[in-house]
Structure 1
């Protein structure tokens, strides 16, 4: 089992090392993150629930570590987090369905050629 607190700490250390090597890139990522937080229409908890769902769909452990802590800090309950994750699961299944139809289309195009 992953120690997410340790993982989050190590991630911060590693990102700091990367920032020393590519400061402009990390500054741009920080600006993007800051801009998303300034929208003004969604509260912090809702943004973190969305972030967790996206983290699952993009399979990003770093995002899971960071946004799990942020979601809890923003007041998200386990039940709210589970509901957001249910949406991510449904979207992944939907995406698999859509891309499966693309495979069938690609296979059919080979047969026609």
Structure 2
């Protein structure tokens, strides 16, 4: 099992190393991440629940450990996180369903002969 606290600490060091190598890229990321919270239309708890759902769907371990920490600090419960992750699971299943239909549509288009008049 992953030691999430150690991983988060080590990740911060690696991100710092990246910031030394590419400071403009890191500044851009920090501005982007901070800009999402500036409107304050969503509270910190809601932002962290969304962040965790996205972290799971994008398979980002660094995002998971960072946003679990922030969610705990914002007072989010384990049950709230589980519910948000349930929504993420359903959304991924929905996306797979939609893309399954698109795949069959692609197959149909690619296997249906084009009439000679339409091909010209």
TM-score by length of 2: 0.91
Mind listing any 5+ residue stretches in structure 1 that lack a counterpart? none
Aligned ranges for residues 1-40 of structure 1 at < 5 Å? Answer: 1-40=1-40
Shift of 1:112: 1.2
Q: What number of residue pairs does the alignment pair up?
A: 113
Deviations 1:51-86, CA, capped at 9 Å, x for gaps = 000111111111001001100110000010001001
Distance 1:41 1:14 in 2: 32
Shift of 1:37: 1.5
Shift of 1:88: 0.2
Which structure shows the bigger proportion of residues in helix conformation?
Answer: 1
Following TM superposition, the consecutive aligned residue runs of length 4 or more in structure 1 with deviations greater than 2 angstroms are: none
Q: Which has the larger radius of gyration?
A: 2
Mind listing any 5+ residue stretches in structure 2 that lack a counterpart? 114-120
CA RMSD of aligned residues (A): 0.8
